[in-house]
Structure 1
Amino acid sequence: MKPILSSKKLRSVSYDIRGPVQEKAYHMEEEGHRIMKLNIGNPAPFNLLAPDEILQDVVHNLSQAQGYIESKGLYSARKAVMQECQRQGIMDVQVNDIYLGNGVSELIVMAMQALLNVGDEILLPAPDYPLWTAATVLGGGTPVHYVCDELAGWQPDLADIRSKITPNTRGIVVINPNNPTGAVYSREVLEEITALAEEHDLIVFSDEIYDKILYEDAVHVPMASLSDDVLTLTFNGLSKAYRLAGFRSGWMYLSGPN
């Protein structure tokens, strides 16, 4: 019998901080070592717990959560996301532009599978969050990494981005605040990226899961607030700012022409 192998697509997919590094940590724990895991943004082990109000609401509504809901997600939750968009000055997002998912990770993978054709190129920040590269590959696309310069505070190198745009470039990923560097991008840099996206008809995939975790007077600028002419998919959720990683509650909203 021939050995059953995994898909060839997985050859370009790796996630070392949740693979070999995590396995080594488990092995050390079995030997009696106490390991502090800093490989993923998991608030609970550090006693960063969810607000009591959210837990109380979950308990109160549990009996009403036994059936299917519409495929885009619970209407009242999507309406709350819409209202948050409006608070941020993003006025063109309607309830039907919002999708709820099993965490942001699921929505990233689904978006890439829905929007990429084989050979499409996606511009990704380097250093990157490995899920974005993996989702691009699994969606049939080709990851192309652009430089985020440590000497410039890990801000994206705009000249490098421009040099890597080709006729096959389908979109650009922006992670702001950035994971793993922690950089918060300036308005000027984000406006330049938006202008490049508009010039070359690129989709912007904006990962903003850390938007409320800011230090030293940093200001987060939502990508969707910068243009009505660029298709922008914004990803956010409850895992980080609201310390609800185990609830797997994420959302994606579309803005601009769609």
Structure 2
Amino acid sequence: MINLANRVKNLTPSTTLAITAKANELKAQGVDVIGLGAGEPDYNTPANILEAAYQSMKEGKTKYTPAGGLPALKEAIIHKLQRDQQLSYQPNEVMVGVGAKHVLYTLFQVLLNEGDEVIIPIPYWVSYPEQVKLAQGVPVYIEATSSQDYKITPQQLREAVTDRTKAVIINSPSNPTGMIYSKEELEALAQVSREFDILVVSDEIYEKLIYGDVEHTSIATLSEDAKKRTIVINGVSKSHSMTGWRIGYAAGDAKLIKAMTDLASHSTSNPTTTSQYAAIEAYNGPQDTVEEMRRAFEGRLDVIFPKLQAIPGFKVLRPQGAFYLLPDVSEAAEKTGYSSVDDFVTALLTEANVAVIPGSGFGAHSTIRLSYATSLETLTTAVERIHQFVSSKWKD
């Protein structure tokens, strides 16, 4: 008899994976299912990055590297942070991991003791709470409603802090909301983190995908004090369409970075060598493809957003970044005869052949998440199917 560890028994199953599995099952049966659950750009990795990876392999650069990343990649990251955000770091303040998800996992493992608390705004990326729990920490949730643009307030943060609080997670631009904290909003949150001496985990993985006249600000740029108590999490997955290459990084306090590197040396040995050389080119090479992709996503958003607004019972804020929409569909679910949004999502898949992610996976039970990281033609067809589904079942 095999008895699993308690730490995995308490994990919450992924609603994203469950919907994806059902969609794939229907596709295998020949059903024309449109999936809007993708958390990755629908573009190939740029050609110059592919070539850099190929050349590195041809040159025999296929062996182990330092656990925390190649020195040349650390320098490329340091240069990127200076170039894009005027942030200055030393090599011992940067750790490269197997994607931003692995970097976050490693951070919580070295930061948290049993019972330590991490404040997580709702809606949240699905892995934040599970990673905290795996480190024997306690997720403490703050609900950021649509009326406050899904962003927490300084007062909410202040009221959530206890003597066990170790950190707060700020994800800007956000998955799943696409909302961005302004400089002024971050300054107010930084004041609270200073007041209570807590770490800010600043997840900036969607930093390059922003739309309209908003700007991305890293909380680490606000002051030397803010930088000292912030650990920046980022990577090449979203910005350079390199999700499968699995390269992310952390930049912050040298003591924390050393502990993360030491732990990684016993878990992964090092990030994939070829991927690291690809990431060096991603940061040091031309950046025009990043802007091309951003413009394409913004163009899709411009077309799809009003179509989504027009669906009865859908209430949606226009996102400022990333590539997700998070409409509140509670009214649509009720008026079409479903007792929950999760049931509504299941019916959308089986009857309208459109796969979306229920907001329950993000702590926002009245919502669904749709990704516009797919072609405009596909998006338009999917939204038309959803509109038809809702209209045909609507009962006043």
- TM-score w.r.t. structure 2 length? 0.61
Change (3 A) 1:218 1:11: farther
Correspondent of 1:90 among 82, 87, 90: 87
- RMSD of aligned alpha carbons: 1.7
Correspondent of 1:231 among 229, 232, 251: 229
For 1:141, the equivalent position in structure 2 comes to: 137
Q: Which amino acid aligns with 2:193?
A: A
Deviation readout 1:37-84 (Å, 9 max, x if unpaired) = 3324122xx3x1221111111111113322111111011111011011
Correspondent of 2:98 among 98, 102, 105: 102
Do structure 1's residue 67 and structure 2's residue 55 form an aligned pair?
A: no
* Contact kept in structure 2, 1:15 and 1:131, CA below 8 Å: no
CA shift, 1:253, in A, is 0.8
Q: Secondary structure in 2 aligned to 1:23?
A: helix
| Mapping of residues 9-48 of structure 1, within 5 Å | 9-43=7-41, 46=42, 48=43
For 2:46, the equivalent position in structure 1 comes to: 51
* Contact kept in structure 2, 1:231 and 1:257, CA below 8 Å: no
Change (3 A) 1:150 1:11: farther
Distance in 1 (alpha carbons) for counterparts of 2:115 and 2:132: 10
| Mapping of residues 210-225 of structure 1, within 5 Å | 210-225=206-221
For 2:195, the equivalent position in structure 1 comes to: 199
Distance in 1 (alpha carbons) for counterparts of 2:175 and 2:126: 10
Task: Pick the structure with more helix per residue.
Answer: 2
* Contact kept in structure 2, 1:173 and 1:205, CA below 8 Å: yes
For 2:246, the equivalent position in structure 1 comes to: 248
Distance in 2 (alpha carbons) for counterparts of 1:144 and 1:40: 27
Distance in 2 (alpha carbons) for counterparts of 1:25 and 1:6: 29
- TM-score w.r.t. structure 1 length? 0.92
CA shift, 1:233, in A, is 1.1
CA shift, 1:14, in A, is 2.1
Correspondent of 2:182 among 157, 173, 186: 186
CA shift, 1:158, in A, is 2.4
CA shift, 1:111, in A, is 0.5
* Contact kept in structure 2, 1:147 and 1:161, CA below 8 Å: no
Task: Pick the structure with more strand per residue.
Answer: 1
Q: Which amino acid aligns with 1:129?
A: W
Change (3 A) 1:100 1:257: closer
Q: Which has the higher contact order (CA 8 A, sep 6+)?
A: 2
Change (3 A) 1:121 1:216: same
